[in-house]
Every structure is written in C-alpha cells, then in structure tokens.
Structure 1
Amino acid sequence: MDFKKKVQERDLNAENVFVASLLAGLNEFGVLNQGIINLTGARIGEFLFQYAVTKGFKIDPDLPTEDQVKEAVNFLNEHLRIGQLSIEFSVDGFFLRIVSSTCRFCPKGVGGAELEGTLCPFPKLIERFLERACCSKVVVVPEGIDKKILVKKEGFCIIHYRYIK
C-alpha cells in the first residue's frame, strides 16, 4: 500500500507518522527492540497518567473493575487516537484487541519497519497507565511458546492482561 493511501485510510496526523517512523528508524539502525520498547512504554504510561491527572482525569474507585479499565483505555484512545479497539473481559483479566489496520502508531504498518516481531509500546504503556489510574493492578500476560506480549491474529493485535492482587 502506498503511503498516501495509509495516511488516508488510517486518518494519520503528523504526530502518528513521527512516532511510527521514529520507532521504525531506530530499529533499522539497530538501537531498538521490543525489550527496550517495553521499558520505554512503561515510562510513557507513567507520563500519560500524569498528563491525564493534569487534565482532570480521575476514575471513581467505587466503580467495578471492568468499568475502571474501560474508562482508562477510552481516555487513552480518545487522547492518542490509537485506532479501533475493543476489550473482552474474562474471569481473571481481559484481552485488548486493536484492529491492526487502524493503529496509527504501528512501526510496521505506518513507519514501514522491516522486522519479524513487533515494536509496540502499548502493552506496557497501558499496563502502567492502568496500574496508576485504576484500583486493580494488571500485568501483561506473555502468550505462546515464544512468550510474546502482543499477538497478531486475524487482523488484530491482541494484548492479554491479568488482574493481580
């Protein structure tokens, strides 16, 4: 797909292109991998929480955990415009599903990164943001034999979170 079509279909703005191509470029030069992105994503989640508080964001601690998670994820998506996403709750956590073709920060889909894995900041970014914003703690659950924190499946980027006590 040509770049003009990507911009139109994903409704990209300059910030999206900047972030995605920065991540892709750093990877291309060999100074970035998913491990570094995980550490950086957690730091970004902390700063985004501080930004949210500055903007008056606060979650009612009396809300059910599912509602707290929804509010926090919706805040992030409204302010970052990540893409089309949904949350599927389970007994001990939830799955966050991002429609891959709509993510505005994807180093592959937007930034043109040539890599086998991912460079997605959202698993740890969201983990830290939820840790700070919600009353319940969550952790990313690595999946599969290779223990990836983001699994691409059937047009979705899927991140599994588990509640911890």
Structure 2
Amino acid sequence: MSEEEKKERLEKLTGAHVFWASLVGSSYDLGIMNQAIIVPAMKATAQRLVLHQMYKNLLPKFNPQDSLDINIKKALDALNEYLQFANHYNVSITQENSKMIATINIRKDSCMFCPVGVGGGPVDTSVCPYPPLFSTYFDVLAKNTLSFLTPKMKKEEKGYMKKEPQDCIMSFIFEEDDAFKSIYEILKSSVEKIQTTIENALKDGVISEEELWDRNYIPIENTNPQKYKTKFTDFMKK
C-alpha cells in the first residue's frame, strides 16, 4: 500500500471502524473471539442492520430481472454506503450444475473493520465477520423479492474465508430454498381460497361489504378473559 493510499484509508476511518477492529483484534488475542461466537453473533447483527435500513428506507431490493452478480453488487454497494466496510471489492459468479456460486474479493488493505485492514494486526480468517454478515443480508434480500434463493457460506480451510496475498475471498453457494418456497405456496393457496370464499359470499348475499368491515364488538358471554365477536367473525367461523 502506498503512502497516499494509507492516508486515504485513514481519512475514511471513523471511530466506529477503529472501535470494532480493536475489539475484534484484542478479543482474538485474548482467545475469546472464535468462529463459534462470530457466526451466530453476526447473523443476529445482520438482521438488526436490515431492520434499521428498513426504518431508514435504505434497504435495497433484488431485481428478479437482473443477474445474480448485479443484484449482489447492488446489495454490497448499498451495505457499503451504509457501513463503509471496505474501499475495494468485486463480485464474480460461477455455476456448478444447478448451483450458483457468488465469490466476493475484498482487498485486504482496504477493509475498514478488520484489524489487518485498519492497523495491520494479524487475525485468523475464522473470525472474519463478513461471511455470516453478507450471507444473512443476501438471504433477507432474496426472500423479500420471493426469488426462493438462499445463500450458504462456502467452507474453507479456516472458517468461511481464505486469504490471498492481496485479497480476502469468500464464496456463497446459492440454491433454491425448497422449504421457503413450500411455505409461500401454502400461504398463497390459503389467501386465494379466502379471497374466493369472500367473493362468493358477497355475490350470494351471505354477507354484505359493510359487514365485512363491522367493528361493532359484541361481548361473548361466559368467557374469561373476555372475548368478543362481530358479524365478520361469525361469518368466518361458518
């Protein structure tokens, strides 16, 4: 890394970057940071970041019309704008049978949260937070657009990342999520049945449109805790 590049990186570092890199580095040195801790912790962290991005209207969306590499690049760009996790990274896609594998290369000296990238401190690849962070993030975005794809972190010799002289490399295997697809199909079928039932009931005069929105709650006798009914709930019980 040139002196100019070092200066550029230092200028972009925030207190949060230094705090996190120092926390990871010192925890690793003390022997209390390992893969068994970082993976579930980062999965939970990613879900909270998603909720905050949703609240701030910053959460990106996968476009079913775009290729996987474009969607992942857009997702990473949005996450990087939000977190500023690295200055240099790229995405490539390969295919093995029905599986698509997304590989992300992050230039080691540009990482903004890693002790290696921030201060040059050595840590094991098994404690890198990015694979579980990215995996959970991609999974949420994919399911939000009903693409039925789910990413799995590719296992490497140490953890879910491998190091090259210049890059940190992590790969994610995208497969169709059969369980999620089945749940979606069940819910979709149920919604269609309810919609058909209500439409037929309106057509046959079994219930009126006003009664569908009835909010006149009538107490049900001999219930503890107290329960209530409306014309709509009576209709749905039939």
Q: Provide the TM-score with structure 2 as the length reference.
A: 0.61
Instruction: From 73, 77, 83, give the equivalent of 1:80.
Output: 83
Instruction: From 53, 64, 69, give the equivalent of 1:62.
Output: 64
Query: Paired residue for 1:52?
Result: 53
* CA–CA distance in structure 2, aligned partners of residues 6 and 110 of structure 1: 12
Query: Paired residue for 1:14?
Result: 15
- For structure 1, which segment, 153-162 or 54-63, has the greater mean C-alpha deviation from structure 2 after superposition? 54-63
Query: Paired residue for 2:153?
Result: 140
Kindly report which structure 2 residues correspond to 1:10-159, keeping only aligned pairs within 5 A, or say none.
10=9, 11-56=12-57, 57-66=59-68, 67-83=70-86, 84-91=88-95, 92-110=100-118, 113-134=121-142, 135=147, 136-143=149-156, 146=157, 148-159=159-170
The structure with the greater share of residues assigned to helix is: 2
* CA–CA distance in structure 1, aligned partners of residues 6 and 106 of structure 2: 18
* CA–CA distance in structure 2, aligned partners of residues 114 and 130 of structure 1: 28
* CA–CA distance in structure 2, aligned partners of residues 102 and 26 of structure 1: 21
* CA–CA distance in structure 2, aligned partners of residues 93 and 138 of structure 1: 9
Higher relative contact order (CA 8 A, sep 6+): 1
* CA–CA distance in structure 2, aligned partners of residues 113 and 62 of structure 1: 41
Query: Paired residue for 2:183?
Result: none
For the pair shown, the structure with the greater C-alpha radius of gyration is 2
Report the AA paired with residue 73 of structure 1: L
8 Å contact kept, 1:59–1:133: yes
- Aligned-pair CA distance for 1:78: 1.2
Q: Provide the TM-score with structure 1 as the length reference.
A: 0.85
Q: Which runs of 4+ in 1 moved over 4 A?
A: 111-114
The alpha-carbon distance between structure 1 residues 18 and 6, as it changes in their structure 2 partners (threshold 3 A), is farther
Gapped runs of 5+ residues in structure 2?
177-238
Gapped runs of 5+ residues in structure 1?
none
Calculate percent identity across the aligned residue pairs. 25
- For structure 1, which segment, 38-47 or 27-36, has the greater mean C-alpha deviation from structure 2 after superposition? 27-36
- Aligned-pair CA distance for 1:113: 4.3
* CA–CA distance in structure 2, aligned partners of residues 55 and 116 of structure 1: 34
The alpha-carbon distance between structure 1 residues 82 and 12, as it changes in their structure 2 partners (threshold 3 A), is same
The alpha-carbon distance between structure 1 residues 60 and 120, as it changes in their structure 2 partners (threshold 3 A), is closer
Q: Once the two structures are superposed, what CA deviation does each residue of 1:115-146 show, in whole Å capped at 9, x if it has no partner?
A: 44442100000000110012321111112xx2
Report the AA paired with residue 17 of structure 1: V
Secondary structure of the 1:110 match is: helix
